[in-house]
Amino acid sequence: MIRIKDFCYWYPGQDQPALDGIDLEIPEGQFCGVVGPNGAGKSTLCYALSGFAPHFFHGTWEGELQVGKRDVPRSTLGELAGEIGLVFQNSFNQISGARFTVREEIAFGLENLGLKRKEIERRVEETLALIDLEALAERSPFALSGGQQQRVAIASILAMQPKLLVLDEPTSQLDPRGTQEVFKILDKLAGRGGTTVVLVEHKLEWLAAFADRVITFSQGRIVLDGSAKKILADEKLLKLGVGQTQFTQAAAAVQKKKFIPRSRPLPVTLKQAQKFFE
């Protein structure tokens, strides 16, 4: 689905590349988490995958970046819009400002794709129900709380049914139950629907429970890449400033006190932790 070869990207006027020689392949339907310290290049990866870098941010690039059959940096944003969806880190920036209600806001992207009226209505109703926004459908997107706006931003991208879904901390303002709901929806889309999901997320406990794979960025490069279980248990994450779940930290601390043999692999989820300590 995604093939990136030796890709570099520089923001305008910067000498240091924000992405520095990225090699990455992600198969269709994979749920891939992206972690890394602040400023490591995670958001830039999201922009590159969706074509916003370079088409919106300008700057320069080299290397290859393909999504499906599409050569992303050589395609226009219009060509990419129906295939790749990006949920921005700050949902406020994503709201079009061109529509008066949440329902119209979700329809906005679909209208731009040129879908038929009936199909637009069907998808809007479906998405409102899926993201639990029915009660807010007639409210102005600007009169909502941060968490509610974030759900609208997610909904307006999901409604477009992109084959690749790129999300930059989409749950940062959601309460834990809302976060869990979003992860369950992404899991369903990736598992059954065959949607490829690339998700930047600081909430490691949720990545551990749902992601197939975790990629770690540092200074514009990929420094760790593997199964969620393997990467999130790697103690290098502590040095990188990514941190670890408290399950992992508690297990490592107890292992140091020799209550539990070193050979037992460190847990990253509650279930694994329960087994580890029993």
List contacts with another protein (CB under 8 A).
36-39, 89-90, 92, 139, 143, 145-148, 169, 172-179, 202, 205, 238, 241-247, 249-250, 253-254, 257, 259, 270, 273-274, 277-278
Residue 133 in tokens: 């926004």
Nearest approach, Cβ of residue 175 and another protein (Å)? 4
Q: Cβ closer to another protein: 112 or 274?
A: 274
Distance CA 74, CA 262 (A): 50
Distances (CA, A) of 213 to 34, 216, 218, 262: 9, 10, 17, 24
Q: How far apart are the first and last CA of the chain?
A: 41
Q: Cβ closer to another protein: 64 or 181?
A: 181
Q: Cβ closer to another protein: 219 or 249?
A: 249
Nearest approach, Cβ of residue 85 and another protein (Å)? 20
Q: Cβ closer to another protein: 24 or 252?
A: 252
The burial class, CB within 10 Å (0-12 / 13-18 / 19+), for 211 is buried
Residue 95 in tokens: 């709201």
Nearest approach, Cβ of residue 115 and another protein (Å)? 30
Nearest approach, Cβ of residue 108 and another protein (Å)? 22
Instruction: Kindly report the backbone phi and psi dihedral angles of residue 229, in degrees, each rounded to the nearest multiple of 5, phi listed first.
Output: -65, -45
Nearest approach, Cβ of residue 179 and another protein (Å)? 8
Nearest approach, Cβ of residue 216 and another protein (Å)? 11
CA atoms within 13 A on the CB side of 147: 9
Tokens 């779940």 sit on residue: 245
Radius of gyration for the chain, computed over Cα atoms and rounded to the nearest angstrom: 20
Short-list 263, 183, 269, 265, CA closest to 228? 269
Q: Cβ closer to another protein: 78 or 241?
A: 241
Q: Cβ closer to another protein: 79 or 175?
A: 175
